[in-house]
Amino acid sequence: MLGLCAAVLGALAAVGWVVAVADSAPNLTDLRPRDPHPPSEIFAADGTPLGYIHTDTIYTPVPSSRIPNRLLQATVAIEDRRFYQHGALDYQGILRAGIKDLFGQGNALQGASTLTMQLVDNNYIDGTKYAIHHDLKYKIVQAKLAQQLEKKHSKSWILDAYLNVVPYGTVGGEEAVGVGAASQMFFNEPVWKLNLAQIALLAGLPQAPSQYNPLVEPGLAHGRRHNVLEAMVKSHYITQAQANRANAQPLQVHPNTTYTVIRQPYVFDFVRQQLDEKLCPQTPDHCPAVTNGGLKVYTTLDLKKQAEAESAIAGHEGGPVLDNQPAAALVSIDPSNGNILAMANSSTYTQTSFDFAAYAHRQSGSAFKPFALMTLIHDYDGDPNQTYYNSHFLGAGWLPQDPTWSVHTAEETYQGNISVAKATTVSDNTVFAQLAADLGWDKLDQMAHAMGITSPLDGNPSEVIGGQRIGVTPLEMADAYATIANGGDHMAPTIISKIVFPDGSVMNLSDPPKTQVFGSGEAYAATQVLKTVIQSGTGTAADFGCPAAGKTGTAENMDNAWFVGYTPQLSTAVWVGYPQGNISMPNGFGGALAAPIWHDYMAAASDGFCGDFPQPSNQWSGTQYNGPRSVSSGGGNGNGSGNGNGVGN
């Protein structure tokens, strides 16, 4: 009698413990269901996919109407044969598993899970404190939530939800969550196109995704597929003959590249960086808004112009890096809105992942001179056609602030007293060195930064002819010249036009902020000077038959060649040089190496447009600038020679 009482008391205590555990567990409404998103995807301007952003999980939701009935049957047969007969719980299975657990048989409890309980596990409990230990207490919590879920949803809803959230395995560091991602990852097919053998293989994966991964363990995967097919026979979903035919087929695995192949990888990486900085400005190296997935990122990249840029580079200097040839890069921007239309490199991503177009800081040579030109016009109201300097060799000591600096022209020829406009046309270093000293090097740096240069500038005297300590990038130069093309208004450059978030909200970035740097009349005056560079100066190789303006640039020792120019519609910078830097190039002038690339690209990218720069309504009229080193008028002879360290055209 005492023994019976003790047994009853023990049973009541056990029941009380179970009730207490259940009462302490949260309700389904208190838990936030897992909300996986498809990988974030990046698109070109025309909607062409460029690729998916790498994430730890791949998720492609499949609507219930597209889930094959055979997959529903296979999943039920192998995971929960009595799914449609029992409620949320399989009491016999729980009792059997509980006894095994008491005897320490490892993960016996997992075997008692119904599909509803597994859905609770994957969609609600995973990531909470209850998922730490898969013990009897965990099972009670799981069971309570499963019962609540079955009261709220139908069996078909539960099965569809299960198939969309359960993990199916990992490939290349990315876990396939749901049948949509798994079907693409393993078979390179949407799930509704799978045959019986493929469906059986897929249905067998959730129990042990790593163990049965067909790409890693094909033998075990084949055995697991056999078990699924036999379970389907036992459940009367298919005949034994159908199972035998399916089992005789190979695994039919075709690894998918949809999630890994990147089109235009340099642009893709640049977009990814801009995206991180835009959405997580404080922590761009760790941006959950991007890595959590679900974003659709639309870019300004014009694939036609991108192809034209690549073709122009391929047709001239700038061969593959591994062939020990000079590299080349091109950036093209729409001046009216700052949209980056093309960013091309001569190298391939397999040779180097470094993006020269966006990140290569190189000395600009004389392509920096337009910043002095704009400083003269805007800050001093100086007319470049009326302002004169003497073109002559500047020996060491000519400048007290830098007594060792000497300046010469590229070909050691000097023209005496010439206007700043003429000095721009022929790219006379000695005139611009004197002009910059008169204007103030800090003024030049301020103008360069206002127009779009973001790299640090030190106010060194030689910066005006390209002697920057850090250098500038093709992207910066295209952006800065675009300010002149846009009538003095600087538009912040952008590669992202809009971001669509998982909830459907949109961040529109196609209208970047505008800053007026100088007036349209001043911009027009500078353009008239820079047009002569292409018409009759150092940049004649860039002349493609339409009105355009620009400037050549050749760095010291001919190790960097530039041409930066613009039309009313496009501002484009081209750089040529060895990736490792500081290697001279034969005939390494900007007019010889970079201008022909610019010519070919602009001729193709202009799409037949050949309009001239419109005259502004507010005409600008400057006067002669009388700097300490300027001269009153033209005339005189500045012939001389020397071996200075000035940079070239």
> Please, what are the averages of pLDDT over each run of 10 residues along the chain (649 residues)?
54 53 67 81 97 88 96 97 88 62 52 83 70 64 85 95 95 90 94 98 96 96 98 97 98 87 95 95 90 94 98 74 76 98 93 94 97 98 98 96 94 94 98 98 98 97 95 98 98 97 93 93 98 98 98 93 98 95 90 97 93 93 95 58 45
Quick check: is 300 in a domain? no
Question: Do 519 and 594 share a structural domain?
Answer: yes
Domain check: are 208 and 329 in the same one? no
Residue 513 lies in a domain: yes
Q: Look at residue 523 and tell me if it is in a domain.
A: yes
Q: Give bridge partners of residue 52 from the DSSP assignment.
A: 41
Q: What CATH number does residue 439 fall under?
A: 3.40.710.10
CB hemisphere CA count around 409 (13 angstroms)? 23
Asked if 234 and 323 sit in the same domain, the reply is: no
In this structure, the dihedral spanned by the alpha carbons of residues 229, 230, 233 and 235, taken in order and rounded to 10 degrees, is -100
- Residue 422 in domain: yes
Which of 219, 248, 277 is the last residue in one of the domains? Answer: 248
Nearest-5° Cα angle at 163, 251 to 142: 125
Is residue 6 in a domain?
no
Question: How many folded domains does the chain comprise?
Answer: 2
Give pLDDT, residue 642: 36
pLDDT of residue 113: 83
Tokens linked to 8: 């009853």
Q: Which CATH number fits the domain that encloses residue 73?
A: 1.10.3810.10
**Residues 332, 218 share a domain:** no
Query: What tokens does 555 get?
Result: 């760095």
Does 89 share its domain with 207? yes
Residues 265-279 pLDDT 10s: 999 999 999 999 999
Instruction: Tell me which of 194, 216, 248 is where a domain ends.
Output: 248
Q: Report the distance separating Cα 85 and Cα 74, nearest Å.
A: 16
Number of Cα atoms under 13 Å in the Cβ half of residue 37: 21
Structure tokens, 243: 């199972």
Number of Cβ within a 10 Å radius of residue 19 = 11
Contact 501, 41 (CB under 8 A): no
pLDDT of residue 68: 97
Residue 162 in domain: yes
Residues 234 and 319 both lie in one domain: no
Range of the domain at 584: 311-605
**Do residues 461 and 330 both lie within one domain?**
yes
Q: According to the model, what pLDDT value does residue 521 have?
A: 98
Structural domain contains residue 299: no
Same domain? 455 vs 593: yes
> Of 605, 624, 641, which residue constitutes the final position of a domain?
605
Predicted TM-score of the model (pTM): 0.86
Are 208 and 339 in a shared domain? no
pLDDT at site 2: 54
Same structural domain for residues 318 and 240? no
Q: Measured between alpha carbons, how far is 337 from 513 in angstroms, rounded to an integer?
A: 9
Residue 5 lies inside a defined structural domain of this protein: no
* 324 and 244 fall within a common domain: no
| Same domain membership, residue 504 and residue 413 | yes
**Residue holding tokens 């998982």?**
502
Report the alpha-carbon distance of residue 474 to residue 491 in Å, rounded: 16
Nearest to 630 by CA among 465, 419, 480: 419
